[in-house]
């Protein structure tokens, strides 16, 4: 799981009983759980070898390893409280997107810069399922700005984010689907061939149009 520093800042602000695991803020944090069918020592050896390689490659700056089941749960609690902390913080502009795993870092750097250029001070609450490229790329207003007023920028921010997703060969919808709000945007980013394939699959699986009628196709 990927979590931006802003995510963890919101969690520890609104849920102070959940402790930030590092001595200093980190721009991005990855929560990695390793399962092993042999022993705890074997799993630890594999993990330590992985971390050693990552540190040598300059990919990782710091790491914390859970020393107990409770500490593992504490780490997961940080991740699971992100959506709750967002609600406590206020309204934001949400995006459920996917990009190829190898392009996640570039997507975040590029899109963050574009958002900051257009809306200085905007806060990116970025988290998601790193293993399959699915990100919740949510944009909160600058500190102290009206959340309702900031929502008036939704269309412009959506365009920046979705154009960047498309440029990185990703999808503007991931685990939560297109819904109705992204129906017309889907036509902007899909080719006629892709739309025809979607219609063909819909017709094959639901010839009478009984499933979720009139929503996308």
Residue-wise DSSP of 140-179 = EPPTTS-HHHHGGGHHHHHHHHHHHHHHTT-BS--TT--T
Structural domain count, the chain? 3
* Residue in the block written with tokens 């795993």: 101
Domain that holds residue 156: 90-177
Residue 184 has pLDDT above 90, yes or no: no
Let me know whether 94 and 171 are in one domain: yes
Last residue of a domain, one of 49, 68, 83: 83
Mean pLDDT of 202-210: 93
108 vs 163: CA distance, rounded Å: 13
Let me know whether 153 and 191 are in one domain: no
* Cα–Cα nearest to 79, from 2, 132, 13: 2
Confidence of residue 200 (pLDDT cuts 50, 70, 90): very high
Look up the CATH number of the domain holding residue 150: 3.30.70.2740
Let me know whether 168 and 184 are in one domain: no
Cβ neighbours, 10 Å, residue 12: 17
> HSE-up of 31 (CA within 13 Å, CB side)?
23
Last residue of a domain, one of 49, 83, 117: 83
133 vs 110: CA distance, rounded Å: 16
Let me know whether 51 and 66 are in one domain: yes
- Whole-number pLDDT of residue 92: 95
- Whole-number pLDDT of residue 103: 95
Let me know whether 104 and 71 are in one domain: no
Let me know whether 77 and 10 are in one domain: yes
b/e map of 48-72 (b: 16 or more CB within 10 Å)?
Answer: eeeeeeeeeeeeeeebeeeeeeeee
Residue 124 has pLDDT above 90, yes or no: yes
Mean pLDDT of 110-123: 97
Last residue of a domain, one of 33, 62, 83: 83
Mean pLDDT of 114-125: 97
Let me know whether 8 and 63 are in one domain: yes
What is the pTM for the complete model shown? 0.87
């Amino acid at each position: 799981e990927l979590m931006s520093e802003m995510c963890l800042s919101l969690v520890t602000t609104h849920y102070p009983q959940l402790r930030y695991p590092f001595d200093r803020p980190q721009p991005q944090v990855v929560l990695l759980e390793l399962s092993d069918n042999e022993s705890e020592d074997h799993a630890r050896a594999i993990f330590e070898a992985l971390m050693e390689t990552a540190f040598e490659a300059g990919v990782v700056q710091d790491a914390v390893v859970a020393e107990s089941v409770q500490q593992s749960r504490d780490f997961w609690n940080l991740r699971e409280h992100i959506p709750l902390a967002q609600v406590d913080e206020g309204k934001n502009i949400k995006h459920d997107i996917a990009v190829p795993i190898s392009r996640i870092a570039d997507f975040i750097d590029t899109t963050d810069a574009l958002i900051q250029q257009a809306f200085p001070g905007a806060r990116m609450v970025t988290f998601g399922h790193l293993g399959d490229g699915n990100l919740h790329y949510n944009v909160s207003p600058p500190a102290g700005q009206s959340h309702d007023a900031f929502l008036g920028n939704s269309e412009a921010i959506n365009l920046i984010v979705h154009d960047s997703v498309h440029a990185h060969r990703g999808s503007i919808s991931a685990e939560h689907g297109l819904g109705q709000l992204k129906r017309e945007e889907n036509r902007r980013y899909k080719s006629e061939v892709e739309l025809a394939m979607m219609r063909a699959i819909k017709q094959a699986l639901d010839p009478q149009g009984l499933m979720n009628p009139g929503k996308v196709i």
